[in-house]
Homo-oligomer: A and B are copies of this chain.
Amino acid sequence: MAKILVLHGPNLNLLGTREPEVYGRETLADIDASLMSMAQEKGSTVKTYQSNHEGNLIDLIQEAMAWAEGILINPGAFTHYSYALRDAIAASGLPCIEVHISNIHSREAFRQKSVIAAVCVGAITGFGWKSYILGLQALLDYLEADDRS
């Protein structure tokens, strides 16, 4: 039974409340509920957190070293400059998957670079709230494969 930390970066608490044509109508609560229900089906558990504070996200990753087996993170704007978040993920030793709601590769130049990517197993970008679902599936598969080997 895999235990997963799900982290939502800055401003993602506004999901579903503004610009639905870009970010969809699902709220963060909806997404968290979907992830929990999917985890339950697969005999796993997720704990979800959102914070606008880089330091909180780092604290949560460090605490997760004691209980979690994997991390699913949408770093929001921290994607582009938080080397501290990157170091936290690397130091945790936990497999981490990066998800983005919209396709960061097609955005303005400064938005295309992820300083987090190099310390993640993989990335899923562009599928709206379903990026999270695909990401959780990818993480559970990864942990299962790891278990067997």
Q: Kindly identify, within residues 3 to 58 of chain A, every residue whose CB is under 8 Å from any CB belonging to chain B.
A: 9-11, 13-14, 18-19, 51-56, 58
Task: Please tell me if A143 contacts chain B, counting CB pairs below 8 Å.
Answer: no
The copy count of this chain in the complex is 12
For A106, list chain B residues within 8 Å (CB). Answer: 117-120
Interface residue range, chain A? 35 or more
- B18, B54, B81, B141: the one contacting A93 at CB < 8 Å is B18
The chain B residue sitting closest to A107, CB to CB, is B118
For A81, list chain B residues within 8 Å (CB). Answer: 81, 83
**Which residues of A are interface residues toward B (Cβ below 8 A)?**
9-11, 13-14, 18-19, 51-56, 58-59, 62, 76-78, 80-84, 86-88, 91, 93, 97, 103, 105-106, 110-115, 117-127, 130-131, 134, 137-138, 141-142
